[in-house]
Amino acid sequence: MKIEICESYSELSRKASAIIVDQIKRKKGLLLCTATGGSPTETYQLLGMESKEQPTLFDELRILKLDEWGGIPMDHPGTCESYLQDHLIQPLEIDEYRYFSFNSNPEDPEQECLNIQDKLNREGPIDLCILGLGMNGHLAFNEPADFLQPHAHVSSLSHASLQHSMASEMRVKPTFGLTLGMADILQSKMILILIQGHQKRNIVNKFLSKKITTLVPASFLWLHSNVICLIEKDSIE
């Protein structure tokens, strides 16, 4: 794992955006798996600005949603769907056929996971996976547990996940999560994990200890051969 300590969130975002742009230039039809939340927001904004400078850069880019809150309408402003539409899909003008997305309110959540897994099997593997670090060490909605699921699945949300700003502000709370599994993530050709915020110092210390445990799902990234970890300086003691 290549770890870079960034002096500020802006520096982290600039570096992350540059890495993503470089990878897209190497492979126009790249499959990009995208996290949501505070950590990647400015990175995505920079990609939107890049699209204005290089209008054809994202013409073949494919995007796969990493996870989603379950049990709330797709058009709810707190969904990962709404976030990605606002920050990536619309700014980069990603066509519907190049975007693969969990439905946040499916009739059959288990079948929805099978549908996404089928799309990943056909379109993948993921070329570049963008991740954040959960307050309890989760990756996507792969929560700390005695064992971890390999593929797309319905997740029981932890208390820590429900405290996330995206969920805590919802009037109607999500009742489950929909997420890619650990094997799906670890089969990515390249992983970029973005960590920012002083509130994550405790879990960052556990992550950087290199101790691999299902109680800190992010620790499994130490097993991957091509991970770049950008950490805002304020996130470490």
Concatenated DSSP letters for 148-175?
--SSSEEEPPPHHHHTSHHHHT-SSPP-
The strand pair at 31-34 and 128-132 is best described as parallel
Of 50, 87, 105, 138, which one is the catalytic site residue?
138
Of 50, 67, 184, 232, which one is the catalytic site residue?
67
Is residue 174 within 8 A of residue 72, CB to CB? The reply is: yes
Residue 108 annotated among the catalytic residues of the structure = no
The strand pair at 2-6 and 31-34 is best described as unpaired
Of 68, 112, 127, 143, which one is the catalytic site residue?
143
Residue 143 annotated among the catalytic residues of the structure = yes
Separation CA 190–CA 43 (nearest Å): 17
Residue 67 annotated among the catalytic residues of the structure = yes
Helix 41-53 to helix 9-26 angle (10° resolution) is: 50
Strand order in the sheet with 31-34: 2-6, 227-232, 190-195, 128-132, 31-34, 62-65, 99-100
DSSP 200: G
Of 127, 136, 153, 184, which one is the catalytic site residue?
136
Is residue 104 within 8 A of residue 212, CB to CB? The reply is: no
Residues annotated as part of the active site: 67, 136, 138, 143
